[in-house]
Structure 1
C-alpha cells in the first residue's frame, strides 16, 4: 500500500471501522431511486475520521455518509494524491448541518466516477453530454449528446453519427448507427470499471464495435443524463 493511500485510510480509520460494522448488519441495502437527488462533482478529502466532499468551485464541505454502499472510501484511498485528495462525481441528498468542520451532510447513493485530481472540474463538454466512454488498444473515445455521437479512434479522423438507443434488462443499453457506411454499436452496462491507463474508477463498462472490430473500456453518464 502506498504512503498516500495509507495516510488517507489512517485518517479515516474510525469511519472505516463503522462502515465494516454496518456492512455486517446490512449486506444488501434496498435500491433507492436517485431521480430526486442532486448530482455534483468535486474533491474528496479525509480529515479527523471523516470523509469530506467539496463541490467544484465552492468552499462548502459536506460530511459523506455512504448510504448506497458505493465503496467510496476504498475507491478514494486507492487514488489519493499527496494531499489525500481525489476527484469524485456523485449523487445524493445534501443537507445543511451545524456540525463543526463542515457545512452539511451528503447522504451518498450513486457514485459515477473517482479519479486523481486534475482538470475534471473544468471540463467544458460535461454538461452537454449524456455519455462518455473510452478505452485503450487502440486509444478510443465516444462522446454522446442529444445531437449524436462522436467516435474518435487513434490514427483516424473523428466520426460524427446519429444513433438509436435500445434499453435492455438490468440497466444495460445499446447505442447503434449504420449511417455514412459505418456499422457502429456501443454496448453499455452498469458495472464497476477501472481505467487501465490511470486507475480511474467508472460506474459503467463499455464495448465499442466498429465495422466488426471490438474494443473495450469504461464510461460514465454526462451531465445531460439524469440517471
Structure 2
C-alpha cells in the first residue's frame, strides 16, 4: 500500500503539467507578411491578388483595419481594381487560395502601379500634401523635397524614433530648416482619395504643411 501511494504522489506533478500545457505560443507579429497587389470586390467578398501571382485571397474582416470601408469608398468613385500595400496574416479559407487578415494598410489607391514601384525597397518614408503641393522621400541616401516651381532639395537628415511608432526626420542645410513628423494614423489624401497609414506634418523654416505618408520597404 505504501509503495502504491508513493507512486501516485510521484506521478501527480506529471498529470498537472499535462493539464496546463497549451502548445507552443504563436507570435502573430513574426508570422505577418507585407504584400502588394490588386484588390477588387467579387460580390460581397473583397479579393486580393499579390503582385506577379494568380492566387486569390479572401480578405477577412478585422476590427483593427478599415480596409473594407476604404475600398468601398474608392469603388464608389468608379474604380474597378485598387492598388494595395498591406501587412497581415495569411490563412485558410473555404474557397479561393486562402485568406488574408490585414493588420496594417500602408497604401490603398486607385492610380499607380505598386507592383512596379522601383523605389519602394529603397524608401524609408514617403509623404505628400496639398495647398501648397509638396512631396518628400526619405532613403539612406538622403531627404528629397520636391515642390512645384521650386528646385528640388536633397539634404542630409537626422532620424529620431519616438514612442507609439512616431518618427521625426529633420535637416538643417543651405539655410533651410526642414522637419517631417509622421504619426501612425488613418489618413486620406484630400485630392486623390488614396489612403495611407501615417499622418504627416512638414515644417519648412517655420511654415507648417500637413498631409499623409507611409513607410517604405527600407523601414523596419
1:86–1:114: 8 Å Cα contact kept in structure 2? yes
Q: Distance in 2 between matches of 1:56 and 1:74?
A: 22
Q: Distance in 2 between matches of 1:126 and 1:64?
A: 24
Match of 1:194 among 172, 188, 194: 188
1:87 aligns with 2:86: no
SS state at 2:144 partner: strand
Please list, as runs of the form range in 1=range in 2, the aligned pairs for 1:199-218 lying within 5 A after superposition: 199-218=193-212
Deviation of 1:54 (Å): 0.4
Tell me how large the CA RMSD over aligned residues is: 2.0
1:68–1:110: 8 Å Cα contact kept in structure 2? no
Match of 2:146 in 1: 152
Structure 2 unaligned segments of length 5 or more: list them. Answer: 1-26
Match of 2:219 in 1: 225
Please list, as runs of the form range in 1=range in 2, the aligned pairs for 1:64-75 lying within 5 A after superposition: 64-67=59-62, 69-75=64-70
Match of 1:165 in 2: 159
Structure 1 unaligned segments of length 5 or more: list them. Answer: 1-31
Match of 2:112 in 1: 118
TM-score with structure 2 length normalisation?
Answer: 0.80
Deviation of 1:50 (Å): 1.9
2:58–2:93: 8 Å Cα contact kept in structure 1? no
1:34–1:109: 8 Å Cα contact kept in structure 2? no
Match of 2:55 among 43, 56, 60: 60
Deviation of 1:111 (Å): 1.1
Q: Distance in 2 between matches of 1:127 and 1:158?
A: 22
1:132–1:143: 8 Å Cα contact kept in structure 2? yes
SS state at 2:86 partner: strand
Q: Which moved more, 1:84-93 or 1:202-211?
A: 84-93
SS state at 1:225 partner: coil
2:85–2:114: 8 Å Cα contact kept in structure 1? no
Q: Distance in 1 between matches of 2:196 and 2:82?
A: 14
Query: Per-residue CA shift, 1:193-226, capped at 9, x if unaligned?
Result: 1111111111101011111222111001111113
Query: Per-residue CA shift, 1:164-198, capped at 9, x if unaligned?
Result: 11222322221011123221100111111111111
Change (3 A) 1:72 1:177: same
Q: Distance in 2 between matches of 1:82 and 1:194?
A: 17
Deviation of 1:36 (Å): 4.0
Which of structures 1 and 2 has the bigger CA Rg? 2
Q: Distance in 2 between matches of 1:117 and 1:213?
A: 30
Deviation of 1:35 (Å): 4.8
Q: Which moved more, 1:104-113 or 1:33-42?
A: 33-42
TM-score with structure 1 length normalisation?
Answer: 0.78
